């Protein structure tokens, strides 16, 4: 009888940046970004939709110095900003989280400031993450979206993700637990 071999654990080298499209990149959040992105954490339409803690600037700076490096190193939470390199403006954010080396899976989250919406940037950013994940050997990219967030549903559908089902009371939104739609994209989709 042949020995059973376990599949190797997946390795995902977290990139410093993703080339999104044209002059747009997703790059690691830096302290200089804090005054621009901190208001999004308190905006119910952005931070509330993405489960971001309602940090103010000081709390966000402290997290970037203390907690984020350790969480990023483990693949638990890796935050990026989406930047227009032509003018240096911050358009939104992207997160990689919950890297699972046993299953070769990572989750993506995204948000845009209202002025950056409607240009396909979130879809392009999600596609860039998926390309990088699959090129590094990951098998699956997931996203969870609050049921009723149709704009986020459309982002994932345009990026080629499949709607799999509903996770009951999975997300926090508006002080409550709400249902989330689970989306996935597989390496061979």
CB atoms within 10 A of CB 48: 19
pLDDT value for 171? 87
Nearest to 96 by CA among 141, 36, 146: 141
**pLDDT for the residue numbered 1:** 59
User: Higher pLDDT residue, 99 or 2?
Assistant: 99
pLDDT value of residue 7? 64
| Average pLDDT estimate for 33-50 | 85
**pTM score, two decimals?**
0.90
One DSSP character per residue, 46-98 reads THHHHT-----HHHHHHHHHTHHHHHHHHTSEEEEEEEETTTTEEEEEEEEEE
| Domains of the chain as residue ranges with CATH | 17-186 (3.40.630.30)
Read off the pLDDT of residues 127-186 as tens digits, 9 standing for 90 and up.
Answer: 999 999 999 989 999 999 999 999 999 999 999 999 999 999 998 888 889 999 999 999
Average pLDDT over the chain reads 91
Confidence of residue 2 (pLDDT cuts 50, 70, 90): low
């Amino acid at each position: 009888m042949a020995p059973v071999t376990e599949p190797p654990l997946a390795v995902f080298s977290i990139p410093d940046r993703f080339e999104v499209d044209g002059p747009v990149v997703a790059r690691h959040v830096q302290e200089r970004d804090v005054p621009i992105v901190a208001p999004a954490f308190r905006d119910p339409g952005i931070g509330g939709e993405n489960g971001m803690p309602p940090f103010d600037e000081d709390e966000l700076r402290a997290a970037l110095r203390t907690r984020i490096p350790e969480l990023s190193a483990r693949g638990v939470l890796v935050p990026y900003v989406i930047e227009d390199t032509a003018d240096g403006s911050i358009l939104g954010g992207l997160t990689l989280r919950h890297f699972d080396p046993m299953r070769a899976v990572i989750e993506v989250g995204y948000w845009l400031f209202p002025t950056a919406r409607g240009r396909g940037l979130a879809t392009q950013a999600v596609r860039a993450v998926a390309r990088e994940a699959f090129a590094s050997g990951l098998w699956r990219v997931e996203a969870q979206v609050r049921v009723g967030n149709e704009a986020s549903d459309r982002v994932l559908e345009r990026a080629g993700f499949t709607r799999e089902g509903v996770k009951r009371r999975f997300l926090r939104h508006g002080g409550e637990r709400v249902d989330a739609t689970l989306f996935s994209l597989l390496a061979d989709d």
